[in-house]
């Protein structure tokens, strides 16, 4: 943070930071504490007894490991396919003129604009006849549909925001169209693309509705497993341990993406 003379604290900014911290970090902290608490009774501020008993219990269950593997596989596969389909499409939306372009572009919004559960039920009936219900690929396809909007809209805005003169300047010094794309267009759009990939990965990892409707009972992802834990026996610690486990991919992704994701870069990528 830059300080200026005379020092004047930014009270509104400070208040926002404090409020956001309480609302976001507070619950996470409580869940984090619960995961390592063996006994924690009201009105004590901290658990009376710490321990890893529930971690052992959770990690000893084979269904947790299966679910974690399923979730990771699903997220990787969906992100990969989504990127392979959507990034070229985003480039086309940003740069080419073709018949029905705007209608097609808006149709991706409709996936998010209408109640998704209705859409899912319809798809589920179709999948039932195709034998896709309860299979990994059935869930993967459903998740793919969910990711389309982020993966198309954000990179499209990023490609549109790139000054064409930058590409012309690269052509000018001797780069062919493909080299221009790799050396100028893609690096310029990268912050937004990384953001879109991250949203897709994390969104797929945490998605429950589609995974439950299409995947049950054979394909169980981490969030689905968590729901069944909570439904079957309400042991707070088990839920807390699973929650902490669920944070892992988000943290890894945030750390990996930090390099590309200055607020400036993201803003520019989103056309701000």
Task: Tell me which residue of 105, 101, 90, 64 sits closest to 200, measured CA to CA.
Answer: 90
Closest CA to 151 of 241, 61, 85: 85
Helix-helix angle 116-130:136-161, to 10 degrees: 130
Dihedral of the alpha carbons of 229, 233, 238, 242, in degrees to the nearest 10: 10
259 binds another protein (CB under 8 A): no
Q: Is residue 182 involved in binding another protein (CB under 8 A)? A: no
The yes or no reply on residue 160 touching another protein (CB under 8 A) is no
- 166 part of the interface to another protein, by CB under 8 A: yes
Using CB under 8 A, pick the residue from 13, 26, 27, 187 that binds another protein: 187
Residues from 190 through 209 that contact another protein (CB under 8 A): 190
Contact between 120 and 215 under an 8 Å Cβ cutoff? The reply is no
Q: Please, which residue, 220 or 268, has the CB nearer to another protein?
A: 268
Residue 77 or 175 with smaller CB distance to another protein: 175
Q: List the one residue from 168, 247, 256, 271 that touches another protein (CB under 8 A).
A: 168
For another protein, the binding residue among 184, 219, 224, 246 (CB under 8 A) is 184
CB of 162 to another protein, least distance (A): 10
- DSSP for 52-89? SHHHHHHHT-HHHHHHHHHHHHHHHHHHHHHHHHHHHH
Binding of another protein by 272 (CB under 8 A)? no
Tokens 């429950």 label which residue? 208
Rounded CA-CA distance 149/158 in Å is 14
Return the number of the residue (190 or 235) whose C-beta is nearest another protein: 190
Length of the chain (residues): 272
Q: Which two tokens stand for residue 30?
A: 């409580």
**In whole angstroms, how close is the CB of 164 to another protein at the nearest point?**
9
CA–chain centroid gap for 114, Å, is: 20
The verdict on 175 binding another protein (CB under 8 A) reads yes
Instruction: Tell me 259's DSSP state.
Output: T
Q: Could you tell me the smallest distance in angstroms from the CB atom of residue 178 to another protein?
A: 11
Q: Which of 176, 234, 255, 263 binds another protein (CB under 8 A)?
A: 176
2 lines the binding site for another protein (CB under 8 A): no
Give the interface with another protein as residue ranges (CB under 8 A): 163, 165-166, 168-176, 179, 183-184, 187-188, 190
């Amino acid at each position: 943070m830059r300080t200026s003379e005379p020092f004047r604290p930014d009270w509104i900014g400070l208040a926002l930071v404090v409020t956001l911290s309480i609302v976001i970090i507070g619950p996470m902290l409580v869940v984090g504490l619960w995961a390592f608490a063996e006994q924690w009774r009201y009105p004590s501020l901290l658990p009376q007894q710490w321990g890893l008993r529930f971690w052992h219990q959770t990690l000893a269950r084979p269904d947790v490991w299966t679910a974690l593997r399923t979730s990771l596989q699903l997220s990787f596969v969906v992100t990969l396919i989504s990127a392979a389909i959507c990034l070229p499409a985003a480039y086309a939306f940003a740069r080419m003129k073709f018949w029905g372009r705007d209608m097609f572009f808006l149709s991706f919004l409709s996936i998010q604009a209408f109640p998704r559960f209705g859409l899912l039920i319809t798809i589920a009936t179709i999948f039932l006849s195709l034998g896709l219900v309860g299979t990994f690929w059935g869930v993967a396809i459903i998740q793919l549909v969910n990711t389309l909007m982020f993966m198309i809209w954000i990179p499209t805005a990023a490609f549109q925001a790139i000054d064409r003169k930058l590409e012309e300047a690269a052509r000018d010094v001797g780069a062919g169209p493909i080299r221009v794309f790799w050396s100028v267009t893609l690096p310029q759009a990268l912050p937004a693309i990384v953001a879109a990939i991250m949203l897709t990965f994390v969104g797929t990892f945490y998605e429950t509705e589609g995974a439950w409707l299409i995947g049950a009972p054979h394909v169980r992802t981490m969030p689905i497993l968590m729901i069944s834990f909570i439904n079957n026996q309400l042991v707070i610690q088990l839920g807390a341990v699973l929650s902490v486990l669920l944070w892992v991919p988000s943290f890894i992704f945030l750390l990996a993406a930090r390099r590309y994701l200055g607020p400036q870069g993201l803003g520019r990528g989103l056309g701000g």
